[in-house]
Structures are given as C-alpha cells and as structure tokens.
Amino acid sequence: MSYASSILGLLPTGRRAIGITQLINKLETYLPPERVEPIREAYEFGAAAHEGQKRKSGEPYISHPVAVADLLADLHMDGQTIVAAILHDVLEDTPMSKEDIATRFGADVAEIVDGVSKLDRVQFKNRAEAQAESFRKMLLAMVRDIRVIMVKLADRTHNMRTLGSMSPLRRRAIARETLEIYAPIANRLGIYNIKNELEDLGLKNLYPNRYKVIEKAVKRARGNQKQFIGKIKDNIEAALEKAAIKGRVEGREKHPFSIYQKMRRKKTALNEVVDVFGFRIVVDSIDTCYRVLGIVHGIYRPMPGRFKDYIAIPRVNGYQSLHTTLFGPNGMPIEVQIRTEAMQQVSESGIAAHWQYKEGSEDEKTGHDRAREWLQHLVDMHGGNSEEFLESVKVDLFPDKVYVFTPKGEIRRLPRGATAVDFAYAVHTDVGNRCVAAKIDRRLVPLRTPLRNGQTVEVVTAKGAMPNPTWVNFVVTAKARTALRHYLKSLKSGDAAELGKRLLTQSLTELRLSFKSIKPEQWTALAADFNLKNASELFEKVGLGERLAPLVAQRLIPKDSAVSQPHESGPLAIAGTEGLSVSYARCCFPIPNDPIMAYVTTGHGIVIHREACGNLKSFRKQPDKWLSVVWQPAAGKLFNVEIAVQVQSRIGILAAVASEISATQTSIERVSIIERDGGVSTEIFEVMVADRKQLAQVIKRIRKMSDVVKVTRTLA
C-alpha cells in the first residue's frame, strides 16, 4: 500500500467524499491521462510533506488540499491548477521550498503556489498589515497567472465550510474578511457558484442568528410557494411551446445573503423579500432571449422600471442576461432571468467558463481578458502602504455599477456614486489631472456630479490645469483616489517646505536672527545633524510639525552670540491660501476675523482652531506646539462653517431654510438633522463663506423666517 493510500485510509468516513480516488475519477472525465498522472504524484508529494499535520477538526491536513482541488475540478480547471491546489499550503506549512516544487512539477505550478502562500515568515507591525501585504502579493501574482485567485477562492470556500472548529471570535474575523474581499472577487470574476456560497457562509458565521431567521423563513416560504411555482412554470412552458421555442424553465431560490442584502438596501420586511418567485429561462440564442421577453410580458404584466438588459450592456464581470420583474398571480412579484446556455455557463463558472488553459479551448477568451484588464488596473494603483492598497481594492470591488458613454459611444463601467472626476481618471490619469469641467448629455455640470446609467460624459481639459485637493472628498474610484493621493503627496511636500521656511523665519526673528543671514552650508550641516538629506527636507519636516521650528532655530545660534533670551515677534499671518500644510479644524470651523490659535501636528503641519474651541483644553499641556496666528486678508478664499438651526417641524421646512441660505449666494456643502423633540427639529448646515460678515448675513436672513426658533454657530 502506498503512503498516499494509507493517509486516505485515515480520513474520517464523512470526508472520503473528497478523497483522492473521487478526485481522480472526476478529473478523468475531462483531462487526458497524461495530465492526470502529475496530479497523482502531487498527492503523494503533498501527503508526505504534510505527514503528521492535522487540522483543528482533527482530520489529516492533506484532506484540505484535496477538497480544494475537488472544488476546482468541478469548474474543470486545468491539470496545473489542480496540482497547485494540492500543494498550495506546502510552502507555508512545511520545510519544502519553491525550488523543490519547481523542480518536481514545473515553474508555473511553483508560481501559483507561491502566489497563494501567505507571508507568515516576514515580520509586520500588526496582523492587519500582514494580511494586507499578503493580499497585495497575491493580487500581483494573479496578474502573472490568474489561476492564483482560482486556487485561493477554492481554498477560502473549503475553509469557510469547516469553520466550526474555530473560536467564535476567529470565525467572525474570517467571515468578515470573506464578505469584504473574497466574495466580491468571486463576483467580479463572475464565479457565482463560489460567490453565493462564500456570501451565505460569511453571513452564517458573522451573524448566526440573522442567518437562522432568514433560513427558517426561506424553508417556510418554499413549502407555501410550491403550488404557485408549479402554476407559473406551466404557464411559461405552455407559452414557449405555443411559440415553438425550445428552452427550459427553472425555479430560482434566493440565497440567504441576497435576501439579507435586499432587506438592508431597500429597508423592507423579511416576508416582503422572501415572498418573491424567481425563474430562469434558458434558450438557444440571443435573438430567442428577446422573443421570450415579449412572451413573458404577454403572460404577466411587467413592473415599470424593473427591466435590465445585461445582454446589450454586460456587467463588468462578463455576466449577461435579461432581467424583468412581473406582477404574478394575486399580484405577487415574479423575477425572471432570460439567457442562453453559454450565458448560463458563464453565470455559474465565470472566468472558468472561458478558461484558456483548458484542453482544446482557444475560443471565447473575453472573460479571461476582462479579468486580466481589471487586475492590471489594480497593479496601476499599486502604491502607498499595504493597508491603504487593500482599502482601495475593497472600494473597487463594490458590485454596484453605472454604465456611461464617452462622446464616441464607448461604454465605461464605474462604481455607483462615481462622479465626473472619476470618469476623467477612468479615461486616463492625465485627463483626470487636467480636467477643468464636465458635460453630461451636452450640458455643463459641476465636477462632483454623480453619474447615472446611460449618460454621455465629456471631460473638458486645459493645459496647465492641476487637480483640486477638494476632489479627494467626493471621488469614489480607487484609480482616481490613488492618482490624487500621489499628486497631493508631491504638492504637500512643496507646501510643507514653504511653511517650514515661514515658521523658521519667525523663530529666528525671535532670536534676533534673520533667515537670510543663515548660509546654505549651515542649513546643509544642520540637516545632516538630523539625518536628513538636505535643507529642503529639513524645511519640509518643520512644516509638517515633525521638527519644531524654535528648537531648530536654537541650533543656529552662533556660539559667540550674545543672544540669551528671545524677544517677541509678531504672530504668524494666515491667509487661508497656504495649501495642504495649513488646515482648519472641523470641530470649530474657524473663519476670517475669528480669534484663532494654531497647533503644530506631527506629520500634518498646522491646524487652526478658534480660541473658544473646547478641544483646546486637551492640547494645553503642550505649549511648545502652539503658535500665535492672525488672519491676513486674502480675496477669493472660502471657508467651511457650521450653523445649527432650530425649526418648528413641518413638511418642506428643510427646503425652505436651504432656499434662504442659497439666496445669499452661499454654497451648502452638507445638511443633517440631529434632533427631533416636541415638534422642534435641529438642522445642521455646513456652508462655505468668505468671512464672519457673510456668515452674519446668512444667520440674519434665516432668523427672519417664522418657523425658525433659534440660529447658532456650532462649536466643539
């Protein structure tokens, strides 16, 4: 008996369903014998490497890689992928090296295994950073060979199936990561079978009670709906037969996670979501899909605004289908999907349906190419630290998309909520950096305008134009945020250096020295003392608050100087145009003519507060970081400020107050209602004003309204 056979014999009876024998039998149905033999060898190799290792459940460890390979065999993945699946934990959990795998099974298999492996042998500051860096490494490996993510998704699926042996805390952490990262990736690649299972298992382990309630409701509804489902199916099949159309009609049960999502998104009760009948009609051609759409609309009346054509405009992951919602018997909603056999295969297996490594399959590489295009986009935004990169990927994975057109009719897919600036950066980074205006359907609109399906977007650019730092507040795509962050980082360096010079000038003046009297070689020598490259870096560190100007200035006092006590110098003048190194606290919203103080923060420059700000108390213990500042007149600069308006609650009062504010030519940035009590509401408006004079005009106009009880400026 071989060692592999003896290991297989040790597997618990319930686990033999995913043993090597069944796996080989499954592989022989679609792989030639010469491709199956290396898989047998991989099993022998993996079983020997994992000898003595057990999972938390007590099973021999080799049972996990075999189960992962079995999942991939269901998707008819190629032989190299199956070999890599069996060996995917060898680098992480055994002394075997990448070279050992490459020598025995080839470089491609070794690269896939290495791409899936975590970075446990590298030291990181914390678990979050290690997790993010492992994810970045895996994504970069995916660009070289997309089979990496197929193995990782199968690995995560089996781990989710066997989470029961983990502690509740660990289960929740893994479930949250699955819902945030791996299920959306499966969705993005169109692998709906894996995506649906990951979502349901994620919900089950993250919110077990919610899952039980939904699962119970689905089972109850399943029993109640049998009669209705049979009747609807018979009606549709009869109509297809009458029209001489061949096709199959399937009942489609909703998944617990999709029900949970719909309840949260639409804020509906559980019974309203569960009591929806779902059907799928699969036919032979695209032309037949549209004919069937007309037939089902003839049987049951369609709901207005509930039709989506994903055949003409496919989803970003390649998914195609016609979706329509109908009024069924007794007015019950019927959701119908109509697609071809090829579309059905893609909807179940996603990129695996187009797999170009599959034997004899060189056609239909669109899914594979689309996935590579997305992965290359991820590489393009490969900057900053790993955790920042991971957050960018999470945003990019959100499945809700809008489809807009370029002036030439090309389709651009963007996340829901994307703006004209996101569109500009989607076209090209240079277009985003130089955009100054946008037209939607030939009409000029603000750059922050959210895009809607079907719009035609045109970007207006200008030579010498630069990104506006405020764009960071409303862009949603990872590409736009990464490009802006890169630009602002370089801009911030220049701002910080300039501010550092001003702070040093002030500190030197207090010591009866002048900035101009300091020779370049003195600055260079001082920078070297601080282990900095040059004087520019020293100025930047001072501007960012990482070096305090008074202490730096002290180092420049000549040894034979008579300077002993600093004398008073004037406060630093702030005009609101200093760039990113001077910011304004959002706890108290200072505006010109307010009495102000400045606090030097480490890494972020100067933050301006109002003298009456309640948060200043916690900063008083660090007097060396406080600066005396005054306002310097500067035309054209606007500042954010908050006002609280107490009003008598009535329909339309919010719009009425907003109208009065707009009448003063004042822009409203944000509105919220924080309190309702005894018929009185408190509405918070964040507005943009030039100074206290304009703010006074706004408050005066609001106070004249009959429904207004009180108007105050907010303060922390």
**Known catalytic membership, residue 369:** no
Q: Which of 148, 161, 157 is nearest to 77 (CA)?
A: 148
Q: Give kind and range of the element (H or E) at residue 327.
A: strand 322-327
Rounded to whole angstroms, the Cα distance separating 537 from 282 reads 65
Largest CA distance in the chain: 107
Q: Which of 678, 693, 601, 586 is nearest to 641 (CA)?
A: 586
Rounded to whole angstroms, the Cα distance separating 495 from 473 reads 20
Q: Which of 132, 108, 106, 110 is nearest to 119 (CA)?
A: 132
List residues bridging with 301 in a β-sheet: 327
- Specify the pairing of strand 572-574 against strand 626-631: parallel
Task: Out of 41, 44, 74, 93, pick the active-site residue.
Answer: 93
Beta carbons within 10 angstroms of residue 11's beta carbon: 18
Quickly list DSSP for 435-503: EEEEEETTEEE-TTPBP-TT-BEEEEE-TT----GGGGGT--SHHHHHHHHHHHHHHHHHHHHHHHHHH
C-alpha R_g of the chain:
32
Contacts of 299 (CB under 8 A, 6+ apart): 235, 236, 239, 326
Backbone angles phi, psi at 367, to 5 degrees: -65, -45
Structure tokens at 263: 């309840």
CA 50 to chain centre: 36
| DSSP SS3 for 159 | helix
Q: Give kind and range of the element (H or E) at residue 510.
A: helix 478-510
**Known catalytic membership, residue 578:** no
Structure tokens at 163: 């989470």
Rounded to whole angstroms, the Cα distance separating 176 from 178 reads 5
Residue 492 zone, left/alpha/beta (φ > 0; ψ -120 to 50; rest) = alpha
Q: Which of 17, 72, 67 is nearest to 46 (CA)?
A: 67
In the 3-class helix/strand/coil scheme, how is 37-103 assigned residue by residue? HHHHHHHHHHHHHCCCCECCCCCECCHHHHHHHHHHHHCCCCHHHHHHHHCCCHHHHCCCCHHHHHH
Q: Which of 597, 660, 671, 703 is nearest to 712 (CA)?
A: 703
Contacts of 509 (CB under 8 A, 6+ apart): 569
Rounded to whole angstroms, the Cα distance separating 80 from 147 reads 9
Task: Out of 74, 92, 129, 364, pick the active-site residue.
Answer: 92
Rounded to whole angstroms, the Cα distance separating 350 from 179 reads 18
Rounded to whole angstroms, the Cα distance separating 263 from 180 reads 18
Give catalytic residues, as residue numbers.
92-93
